[in-house]
Amino acid sequence: MRAIDVRSVSGEEELLTVSSKRGVIPRASATVSMFKAESYVGHKLCWPNDLVINSLWAWGRGLGIARHHGIVSTAYGVYRQRNTDLDPSYLHELVRSEPFQWELQVRSQGVWKSRLQISDERWLDAPLLVPPAEEQTAIVKYLAHANARIDKAIAAKRRLIALLEEQTSSLRHEALGESAGQWPVRRLKTLLIRVDQGVSPQAENQMPSPDDWGVLKAGCVNGGVFRPDQIKRLPDGFAVPASLRVANGDILVARASGSPNLVGSTARVTGLRGKAILSDKTFRLIVRPTVDPDFLVMAMNSYSYRQQVQGAISGAEGLANNLPVTALRSFVFPMPPLTEQREIVERVTAEAARTLDTIARVAGEAQLLQEFRTRLVADVVTGQVDIRAIAATLPDAPESFDNTVSATNDDLEEAMSEGEE
């Protein structure tokens, strides 16, 4: 391969970006708001079948084969084959596979893992597995079919989770609506001691071990459920602010997200086993003794609350799917006495217990499917599993990888956290 450095003369080509989950994608398809340059004249260009690498994120799967002609960041490396030994689709799967991440990591240089950068020379010196052309074709066909089936299964589980979450929301809404007209209306700021907001350090794109510190991602709260897996490892030596340490029982609110439907999502921290700090895309609410934390979380997942959030993020102050703290503190809630708050929470918890257990189980199944995909791709592209006979029985497949599909919530959050120019 050889490095390509062709620059845009007009700056009007399509803007592209690199996602660690989706590869090289049109920036518009990510539907996220990131800082844009005033002009893209002089920025790098890539063409279909070029390999594009985010030199600062190669070790975190920040690379892939382009399917479009367009503008990429000047910090990216663009590479083109000198011959046709490698099927572009096979190369895409290979360089993004789990085993190859070790190769990229050892070839990247820097003081901290989160600051590692790979140069043209060190990338071009990397060894690549080059099976015969017919085996590459078989691998591409097999993975196209396998990925399609896994995607379909995951999508079905996500649809089920959405339906179950809607069911629990209806339970909360009914419980809150029964006597809400008899309760005094209070602004959120009168129910709180304070609102905390975290920081956004450059973190590693992997989960921390139980002994490591991590920073929670924007997607750690979604639809009233805390997701302990939405966390990134902090680099060694990071000074952890004691005031931002997160504990089980904390109330977290999503301040910003690539999806407006996730902004304002509120949940109580449960199941957190490691050490975590708050990110700047998340608020933490410290409630007064007269407020039951679980009741407040229930109220902050109600329909009336969602309407207030939508109004706040669509106003002049709420830019880029961002919930301003001033708007959050001004939201209003009907609030019964503490004893009644606890009675409502107990009743709804009992009614929703089975549904919440099902949500947790299905979410775990979706995660296992993702892990299975990672292992399968690794075994296939490195020849640990011989799929030639199976591939021969499969019909021709469409594109072996599709990096233009709509982003999932995780992708949107990831794109926001990684940023661009």
Residue 407: Cβ within 10 Å count: 20
* Among candidate residues 143, 13, 125, the one with its CA nearest the CA of residue 68: 13
Beta strands in 10-161 (DSSP E): 16-19, 23-26, 44-46, 51-54, 63-65, 70-72, 76-80
Please give the chain's pLDDT, 421 residues, in tens: 999 999 999 999 999 998 888 899 998 876 554 557 788 999 999 999 999 999 888 888 889 999 999 999 988 999 999 888 899 999 999 999 999 988 898 898 876 665 688 999 999 999 999 999 999 999 999 999 999 999 999 999 999 988 988 888 788 778 787 667 789 999 999 999 999 998 888 777 677 887 889 999 888 888 778 888 888 888 877 888 889 999 999 999 999 887 788 899 999 998 888 899 999 999 999 999 999 999 999 999 888 899 999 988 865 444 467 899 999 999 999 999 999 999 999 988 888 888 888 988 998 899 899 999 999 999 999 999 999 999 999 988 665 555 544 444 444 444 433 443 3
Tokens of 6: 């062709």
What are the CA-CA distances from residue 75 to residues 109, 221, 249 (Å)?
15, 32, 41
Give me the sign of the Cα torsion angle 162, 168, 172, 177: positive
Instruction: Give dist(CA 190, CA 219) in Å, integer.
Output: 27
Q: Quick check: 165 and 359 in contact, CB under 8 A?
A: yes
Record the pTM: 0.72
Q: Quick check: 78 and 44 in contact, CB under 8 A?
A: yes
Helix, strand counts (H, E) of the chain: 10, 20
* Among candidate residues 17, 20, 118, 123, the one with its CA nearest the CA of residue 374: 20
